[in-house]
Structure 1
Amino acid sequence: MPMKQFKIVIEKHSDGYVAYPIGVVGAIVGQGDTYEEALSDVKSAIACYVEVFGKEMLEDTPCVEVFIAEAVIAV
């Protein structure tokens, strides 16, 4: 089976972890009580996404670099 590498963002929140792939069109999110659980869940979500929508949906994921920035906004 062909493999594809994804960049995954994993955020730590007060109530657990949230993970999502960078550069994939559509809502794919994983969550868990630990980093490992969130990563496993998002990998499962990506596999399900491919099963439902087809691997063609992943062909346009050109994201090579990811940057994190902070911004101050008046609210």
Structure 2
Amino acid sequence: MTRKVKLIVERHEDGYIAYPLGLREGVAIVGEGDTYEEALADVTSAVRFTLETAREDEVFDDELSVLEAVVTEAEVPVGIKVPG
């Protein structure tokens, strides 16, 4: 049996990190690598290992099922002084 998992892969100056969406609170799974492919393989392996050591319903929260993930940008003001 398989499960489709939505993953986020981020590129940083020093490499890539990847993590799945829809995890239960308190569950953290992260992969990393020098390339996109390495990070993807690492997080896939980490998800597989986690599911070998914990039940699926202990890892994923199906009520938080992510149908689609979108990355976008928004401009926000910075440097605003908070009264106090």
TM range (shorter): 0.7 to 0.9
2:43 paired with 1:42: yes
Gap regions ≥5 residues in structure 1:
none
Q: How many equivalent pairs are there?
A: 74
| CA distance in 2: counterparts of 1:13 and 1:59, whole angstroms | 28
What does the per-residue CA deviation read over 1:44-65, in whole Å, with 9 as the maximum and x for residues that have no partner? 1101111222122236251101
Structure 1 residue ranges (4+ consecutive) displaced by more than 6 angstroms after TM superposition: none
2:70 maps to 67
- The TM-score normalised by the length of structure 2 is 0.75
User: Over the residues paired in the alignment, what is the CA RMSD in angstroms?
Assistant: 1.6
Instruction: Give the TM-score normalised by the residue count of structure 1.
Output: 0.83
Q: Which has the larger radius of gyration?
A: 2
% of aligned pairs identical? 43
- Which residue does 2:11 correspond to in 1? 12
Structure 1 stretch 38-47 or stretch 18-27: which is displaced more?
18-27
**Ranges in structure 2 where 5+ consecutive residues have no aligned partner:** 80-84
| 1:9 alignment partner, SS class | strand
Deviation at 1:10? 0.5
